Chains A and B, each alone.
Chain A
């Protein structure tokens, strides 16, 4: 079991559309993830893989990023090196996210408010991370 600090989905307009926090140092985590967007922006186009692995390190915390084809970014702030778990977590969240996108009432780029999604993501986090 790793300790995951924060998981954020950032839309392709750089707007956070989903946040799942574990602790309440929200600003810090948000700050770190926001700054990491700078790195994602550089790295995303250098690889064809969606999973960018740990792209940034902040003392003990690492930022792992997964970029979907639509340039939505899943950003995970964590402190473990369980790369496989993170990868499968991202992939499963991606599936969930696609399901959200398929919802005709969901406007792409808007905030994800589905509680179902939230529950599933948290369950996935428990399972994979």
Chain B
């Protein structure tokens, strides 16, 4: 069988193409060989695949071989049968003939012989040697060819074609290829059929004990079939066959109850051969009736990958490769005990690298679909990272574990990866004592890497269990001791594992371990006694030695030989993985590995690169908010930045460290971060950069309603600031911007004047707030200084995804913190009184100060009196709440008001420089100010004569007082108001002569109109008469005193009568003549100052109990001498009582009486006669008798006569009666009664009875 296998192998390696046999009947081949072979390989061929579907194949390789060739002849029939795939796929029969007879007799029988009895696919090429110019010959050739066609071609199948040596026909080659293809296709189909039948037969017998995989493999031809497909360029089918083959093989491996040899023990087996089909001849790997798994699976995979590469599917190679490596690694794990030490790891490393390199070289970017491409890179990354893990494991085993970064990724990969499980853990080779010592020294010298900032972290484990224990447990000869014996002296080295264990062991056993370790570490005790547990250094040395034996690849050996090489390899692998993951958009995988690269860069002192890579990692973790992971990397970044002197970066890293979850770092560590920040802030910084501490210092307004201020008011704004610093931190300055919601550009800046100390956690900071424009404001940015460092914080208190680095993503609170209202009246000043006050007297004016939702605390009122008005200085200003003011004022006037000073809502204030300061109690209540003032008017009041009193011009009594109120928090608010006050005299006097007595005494009525809303009491009144008038009688010109006091109600009138007569006063001095009379009234006033005029504010000392003050009112009255003095009186006597009627005669009578002696008047001469004349409207009256005439009237005073006249009214109605006039006498001397024209009623005439005769 081995023979066959070897033969198969050689056949496979030699013949990779189809064979077309050439039966050269007429010895023509040498002449046409070249032109035929030029056609190879066939450009395009159509073949049937296994499912009989047409498949187009390009560049099909083929070879023309003469049947007489040794290769075809020297085969045994069995061989042919075995390796059928190499038999010719078509037989080309080359013939020529120029003679019909010759054809019939010789050629035809010969051809028949060739063609018959043969399963071969054949066709005939008739070669015509006739020259085209030779008509005869070519005609003959045509004839022969026609015969040939008739004989051998059928309708179904053309089996002939004709080749002209001298220039073949245009379509000859196409015909030829078509013929060949047809043959090949048919042959393939039959052979496929055959193989399939065989396979089916054998598969059915698979569970038969005598079944033999090798037979199945070769003889019955799965592989042969696959190879045949491959030859025919039907790679897909070939691949399918190999897949099937693999399945079958795995099945046999898995079910076989018998233990088979696994393989992999040959030198060089550690190097994966999964891409090299011809790595080992199959003969070498055959075992019993099958193949060794180790080699054969790799062989199968190699065949598959070869096909896949041919199909240009490197992606599939890597994807199949990855899973193959995984599953194969598992298989290796199962057989680990028989395989060399660490064979599995080494194989995986080499396999991964082989697949990666092969696929990378085959893969051309951009050919595949994007999705496939991503997958491809992902697989590459996976392969790299798998390789990396195994590599790390080896590195650890040979004692370079300290060089491995204890990062989460390494820890995650390694701490769950089991140790190699050799049957027996290797022993220290003889003569390696020096190496052991050296290793031990390295271990002793190794200091656990100190984390920046003194961060103490339990190092992440890199090993599943303590290597010491594992190794010793696997030493066959060692009897199990107590666990504490297992541990090596240098606990610090295997930190992860050691702490792991020591934390589990009780303190006593730990102490024991320590004491034991001391004895072990003494160098002399190194004797390699069998029972003594190996020490770590020994384990390393032993591992290294055995590993070097395992590894056959010199490159890998070299790689593991020194720490530099290891580092380089590690870097390559990590970079490869990271790059590929990045390309596949697996950014998390990629970035994590970037972190590993950074760690190496850091170790090499390439801090720039390290910082860059660390930044990437941090950005990813921070962006996605994985704080635990960030806490692992960020200190490293900070350390890089510190070393690079990148102050800005370093500070921001510190701030980020501080703003991580508090649980991630101990208080001590956090304090270290803070002290870094603070010390850097206070040092000289070259380029001070604003530091964003949004994540660390957050702020928000106080909850509840926003602070409301009136326009122009300053205020204080208290803001809650949360500090994330672990300790108190001193901020040298702190300011906060306010942003107006109405306009983003508007806003103010608040500054905290002094240094602020922020406690950890919540702080309340109060900012003085200068006056702001009206509107509402939200908090903007918090800025400040720590030392020379400027910082700013944008963030409000943690509400949203607080851990996000991107502060823009914060939901900015739109809750206003401050509202400045639009200008509005804040206070109102008004006068408490509506009616007029007394002029020229001290009067209180009440001014109501009404705060409108605003405090008047500390308000100052400036009082400025206008012209004609002054403040009565000696009086203090009274202030009281408005509601109780009236009552208070009453109280004050009654009792000594000093006792009232204690009262909260009443106070006496004094005026200083025209200013009054408001007391505190008045800050939010409506209060009233009573200010004593006096309006000054020099003019004397003027009375008016008779008739209703003219309205006095209001302007005369008008005075103004200007008030200015300064109030607000810093007296910034000003309220101005000018108040008009109305002053008036208490009375207005008007006069009339009430009666002129016959004796010349005039009754002068003085009417007093009260001008004020107060009760006036007239106590006395007298007239100083002007020249030409004297008081009648003996009186002193006063009314009867019993009438006094005369009370005049508000707005009412009362009158006084004075008897005066004309006459010369006893005027001694001409100069002292009075042009006008003066009315003097002594009066009292009882009024309320809240209403209007009131008793004058008097100095307190002058006040007398119960007695109201007496005031004098003076008013000028002008009296005129009466100029008329009638001497006659004409009186119209009453008419008869039955009335006047039209047409009825009536006697009208006048009485004429002499009022004065005639001599005194300038009447006409005939003293006793008076001329009279009656005038009447002739339309209304018919007068009978004399209308004009003289009557005698005695010149004596009191003489009288009657004049009567008969007349008849003519019209009914009210008509003027006839008028008696005295033409001789001046009208002024006649006193008529009635005085003016008057009307009388004339009734219509009586009904005439003649017309109304009773029936």
Residues of A whose CB lies within 8 Å of any CB of B are: 11, 13-16, 26-28, 30-32, 34-35, 37-39, 41, 58-61, 107, 109-111
8 tightest A-B contacts by CB? A15-B625, A59-B416, A31-B408, A14-B624, A38-B586, A27-B408, A28-B412, A38-B588
Cβ of A31 and Cβ of B625 under 8 Å apart? no
Task: Specify which of B460, B586, B624, B803 is in contact with A27 (CB 8 Å cutoff).
Answer: B460
**Would A109 and B589 count as touching, CB distance under 8 A?**
no
Extra A-B contacts (20), CB below 8 Å, given A14-B625, A35-B409, A41-B585: A13-B804, A14-B623, A15-B626, A15-B801, A15-B804, A16-B625, A27-B408, A27-B411, A27-B628, A27-B629, A27-B632, A28-B460, A31-B409, A31-B592, A32-B412, A35-B589, A38-B586, A39-B586, A60-B416, A110-B801
Within the complex, the shortest CB–CB distance from B627 to chain A, in Å, comes to 8
Residue of B nearest to A11 (CB): B801
Residues of chain A within 8 A of B417, CB atoms compared: 59
Q: How large is the interface on B (under 10, 10 to 19, 20 to 34, 35 or more residues)?
A: 20 to 34
- Quote the shortest CB–CB distance from A43 to chain B (angstroms): 12
Contact A58 B412 (CB under 8 A): yes
Is the beta-carbon distance between B586 and A13 smaller than 8 angstroms? no
- Contact between chains at B592 and A35 (CB < 8 Å): yes
Among B411, B621, B801, B811, which residue has its beta carbon within 8 angstroms of that of A28?
A: B411
Partner of B588, one of A35, A61, A110: A35
Contact of A30 among B623, B629, B800 (CB under 8 A): B629
Q: How near does chain A come to B813, taking the closest CB pair, in angstroms? A: 12
Q: A38 touches which one: B587, B625, B626, B628 (CB < 8 A)? A: B587
Q: A13-B801, A28-B412, A58-B412 are in contact. Are A107 and B629 (CB under 8 A)?
A: no
Set of chain B residues within 8 Å of A58, measured between Cβ atoms: 412, 416
Given contact pairs A16-B625, A28-B408, A31-B629, A110 touches B802 in the complex (Cβ within 8 A): yes
A34–B625 Cα distance when bound, in Å, is 10
Nearest-CB residue, chain A, relative to B624: A14
Write the B615-631 contact mask toward A (1 if CB under 8 angstroms, else 0): 00000010111101100
Chain A residues near B624 (CB, 8 Å)? 13-16, 34, 37
The distance from the CB of A118 to the nearest CB of chain B, in whole angstroms, is 15
Proximity string of chain B (367-403) to chain A, C-beta cutoff 8 Å, 1 when within and 0 when not: 0000000000000000000000000000000000000
Q: Can you name 14 A-B pairs with beta carbons within 8 Å?
A: A14-B623, A15-B625, A16-B625, A28-B408, A28-B412, A30-B626, A31-B409, A31-B592, A32-B412, A34-B588, A34-B621, A37-B588, A110-B800, A110-B802
What residue in chain A is nearest B457 (Cβ atoms)?
A: A27
Hey, what's the 0/1 contact readout for B718-752 against A, CB within 8 Å counting as 1? 00000000000000000000000000000000000
Residue B415 is within 8 A (CB to CB) of chain A in the complex: yes
Check: B311 CB closer than 8 A to any chain A CB: no
- Measured between C-beta atoms, what is the minimum distance from A33 to chain B in Å? 9
List residues 636-663 of chain B with CB under 8 A from any CB of chain A. Answer: none
Q: How far is the CA of A80 from the CA of B625 in the complex (A)?
A: 28
Question: B799 near A: Cβ within 8 Å?
Answer: yes
- Tell me the residues in window 556-613 of chain B with beta carbons closer than 8 Å to chain A beta carbons: 581, 585-589, 592
Contacts of A14 in B (CB 8 A): 623-625
Q: Is the CB of A16 within 8 A of B626?
A: yes
Chain B residue, CB-CB nearest to A109: B801
Across the interface, which residues of B come within 8 angstroms of A15, CB to CB? 624-626, 801, 803-804
* A13, A30, A34 — most chain B CB neighbours (10 Å): A34
B460:A111 contact, CB within 8 angstroms: no
Q: Which residue of B lies closest to A21 (CB)?
A: B628
The interface centre, meaning the residue of B408, B589, B623, B803 with most chain A CB atoms within 10 A of its CB, is B408
| B811-A107 in contact (CB<8A) | yes
Q: Name the one of A11, A30, A41, A111 contacting B628, with C-beta atoms under 8 angstroms.
A: A30
Q: Do B804 and A34 touch (CB < 8 A)?
A: no
Give, as a whole number of angstroms, the nearest-CB distance from A35 to chain B.
5
Q: Which chain B residues in 671-704 approach chain A with CB under 8 Å?
A: none
Task: Tell me which residues across on chain B come within 8 A of A41, comparing CB atoms.
Answer: 585
A61: chain B residues at CB < 8 Å are 416
Chain B's closest residue to A10 (CB) is B624
Task: Chain A residues near B589: list those with CB within 8 A.
Answer: 35, 38
For B626, the chain A residues whose CB sits under 8 A away are 15-16, 30, 34
* B581 and chain A: residue at smallest CB distance: A38
Query: Residues 753-796 of chain B: 1 if any A CB is under 8 Å from the residue's CB, otherwise 0?
Result: 00000000000000000000000000000000000000000000
When chains A and B are docked, how far (Å) is the Cα of A92 from the Cα of B625? 25
A65 CB to nearest B CB, Å: 14
Give chain A nearest CB distance to B382 CB in angstroms. 11
A38 to B626, alpha carbons, bound, how many Å? 14
Find out whether the CB atom of B416 lies under 8 angstroms from the CB atom of A111. Answer: no
| Most chain A CB within a 10 A radius of its CB, from B585, B587, B624, B802 | B624
Chain B contacts of A35 at CB under 8 A?
409, 588-589, 592
Q: Which residue among A14, A31, A37, A111 has the maximum number of chain B CB atoms within 10 Å of its CB?
A: A31
